Structure 1
Amino acid sequence: MSVLRVGCPMWAHRPWVGPFYPSGTKPGTELALYTTWCNAVEGNTTFYAEPSVATVEKWAEQSPDTFRFAFKLPRLITHDKRLHDVATEVRSFLDVIEPLGDRVGPVQVQLPPSFGPDDVEILLGFLRRLPADRSWALELRHLGFFENTAARERVDRVCTDRGIARVVLDTRPLHAGPVDSDAAIEEKRTKPAVPVLTDVAGPHPIVRVIGEDRPDGTMAGLLAWVPQVVEWLADGRTPYVFVHQPENLHSPGLARAFHAAVADEVDDLEPLPEPAGQTSMF
């Protein structure tokens, strides 16, 4: 069957208790419930620090084999050391998440907006040294990589040769919508409006749709991706679509609604699990 992975940036979000998780859900138990709503997660927690062995073992216990974590490399590697001399840190991270086995989806290399075409040599060297036994995805945020054709083409060639996916950051719904919360103001400040490019998607393209406070505005942004995702599925790819909102109040329901919209167009799409507990969509 065709597989579309959908999810959110996290699973332990306490405002989801009631709308999505049963009342009384205890902290630390949310992952098992989340895996009944979505079949993937970004796992932003690893961006801030490498998890402990005990934490990873807990994640393995709470997630089924069919679930996928699209972890981000720790910011120590991408933002602090900016890919310089990070072989030890990359290997340490991969060793820590190894107990999750096939639950580990594409590992995301999210670079800061200050990492631009002037750093292309260090980037290309880093990409070429990534272990081939893991799936990888690269997110670029410096506008120079979208405007500088030569630098972008060099990166694209390496990604294509090594099967590295490109992460598409779609902030159009965020920047088009009204600002209703302090979180939305912060999101607009930190999430750049970079061009949306899908020509080098790789075998497991990742789309991060950054929505607005209102669920209907975010849903409209998601629905714009249905034709592209249908095309990727027809090509035999496994897309990942992650839903963000400034406060992420409705994200699990929006992710499922997007999956349902694609299922209306793809007859053999693997279904999502039945949600445990509450069944509010948004």
Structure 2
Amino acid sequence: MQPGSARCYIGLPQWNHPDWDDGPLAGSSQLSPLIRYSRYFSSVEGNTTFYGLPSSDAISRWLNEAHTPFQFCFKFPQTISHQAQLRHCNKELTELFNCMDRFEDRLGLLCLQLPESFGVDNLDLLSRFFQDLPEDFSYAVEVRNIGFFQKDEQERSFNRLLMERDINRITFDTRPLFNHPQNDPVTREALSAKPNMPVHVLATGQRPMVRFITALDWQSSMDYLNPWINKAVQWLDEGRSPFFFLHTPDNKRSPEVARLFASKLEEQRPGQVCFSDWPDLQQQQSALF
């Protein structure tokens, strides 16, 4: 891929949230959540597949509703990643890939989120697992064991394994959340659910994936978010097509974070950001008069 053809896909961890209906999108409730969401965002973290595969009818509906160039990203089911921990799961893998085949070029990344108990002593197992994966898909992996963050030979071996197979190492940047903890219920819940791992920034594949979560006061997190703009520019110039997923502790304000990120990136690399401006309340009111 040449630098000019690279694209940055921007999304959120979900395509529906009850608070979004009461804000800028009020009045468009006759449309499905995915139709509305994909008007603005170009990807989504498909967490539903972690718990179970979608039905054939659901897949057909999603493909019909999502606007081009929308890219679905889905997680490997927990039956593979957490329960089997990559062992003896051929049946589950077959079911997964039969399901994912339906998405064809609308599938962005298949994401393997490994549990904290999966450490660097399992690198050989991970390598064998990768060998058996079909080459027709793009993959990303997120590790949550501190052994993968020691900047030692084991971490380097892990990174080399990913680079050899063009598998993207997911970065989950939770620093704004953990470095500025608050005592409100929303933040406490997020602190208990999100991993607190170091941020090691590198692209091991052609489609780097970054998950970023702000503090509840999301505007206080800009010192952490702004460097990701520069990294996205670098990756685009290298011909990579990164995926950025923006979170807030309750995701109520996550569209606003994504809008700011996308606008800053668009200023530097116009035409390479897959995002249509999420309307704020002022824009919505102006449209009424």
Task: Report if TM-score (shorter chain) is over 0.5.
Answer: yes
| Matches of 2:69 and 2:78, distance apart in 1 | 27
Q: Is the counterpart of residue 233 in structure 1 residue 258 in structure 2?
A: no
Identify if the C-alpha distance between structure 1 residues 158 and 201 changes in structure 2 by more than 3 Å, giving closer, same or farther: closer
Q: Is the counterpart of residue 45 in structure 1 residue 36 in structure 2?
A: no
- Partner in structure 1 of residue 71 of structure 2: 68
Of residues 83, 89, 94, the one that matches 1:91 is 94
TM (norm. structure 1) is: 0.91
Q: Percent of aligned pairs with the same residue? A: 31
Amino acid at match of 1:81: A
Structure 1 unmatched ranges of 5 or more = none
Displacement of 1:150 after TM fit? Answer: 2.8
Of residues 85, 88, 109, the one that matches 1:82 is 85
Structure 2 unmatched ranges of 5 or more = 285-289
What is the Cα-based RMSD across aligned positions, in Å?
Answer: 2.1
Displacement of 1:23 after TM fit? Answer: 3.8
- Partner in structure 2 of residue 14 of structure 1: 18
Please give the residue correspondences for 1:1-282 in structure 2 after superposition, counting only pairs within 5 Å. 1-23=5-27, 25=29, 29-147=32-150, 149-179=152-182, 181-270=184-273, 272-273=275-276, 275=278
Note the alpha carbon deviations across 1:108-155, whole angstroms, 9 max, x for none.
001111111122221111122211110000111100111262322222
8 Å CA contact retained: 1:2, 1:268: no
3-state secondary structure, aligned to 1:108: strand
Displacement of 1:199 after TM fit? Answer: 2.8
Note the alpha carbon deviations across 1:40-99, whole angstroms, 9 max, x for none.
111111112111111111111111231011111111111111111122212211211322
8 Å CA contact retained: 2:13, 2:246: yes
Amino acid at match of 1:99: R
Displacement of 1:268 after TM fit? Answer: 4.1
| Matches of 2:72 and 2:24, distance apart in 1 | 20
Amino acid at match of 1:223: N
| Matches of 2:220 and 2:88, distance apart in 1 | 43
Displacement of 1:226 after TM fit? Answer: 0.9
Identify if the C-alpha distance between structure 1 residues 151 and 172 changes in structure 2 by more than 3 Å, giving closer, same or farther: same
Amino acid at match of 2:70: F
Structure number with larger C-alpha Rg: 2
Displacement of 1:276 after TM fit? Answer: 7.7
Identify if the C-alpha distance between structure 1 residues 172 and 270 changes in structure 2 by more than 3 Å, giving closer, same or farther: closer
Q: Please, which moves more after superposition, 103-112 or 142-151?
A: 142-151
| Matches of 1:94 and 1:276, distance apart in 2 | 36
Identify if the C-alpha distance between structure 1 residues 265 and 187 changes in structure 2 by more than 3 Å, giving closer, same or farther: same
8 Å CA contact retained: 2:255, 2:278: no
| Matches of 1:210 and 1:261, distance apart in 2 | 18
8 Å CA contact retained: 1:173, 1:221: yes
8 Å CA contact retained: 2:262, 2:273: no
Amino acid at match of 2:158: V
| Matches of 2:93 and 2:25, distance apart in 1 | 34
| Matches of 2:102 and 2:159, distance apart in 1 | 31
- Partner in structure 1 of residue 287 of structure 2: none
8 Å CA contact retained: 2:166, 2:204: no
TM (norm. structure 2) is: 0.89
Aligned residues: 279
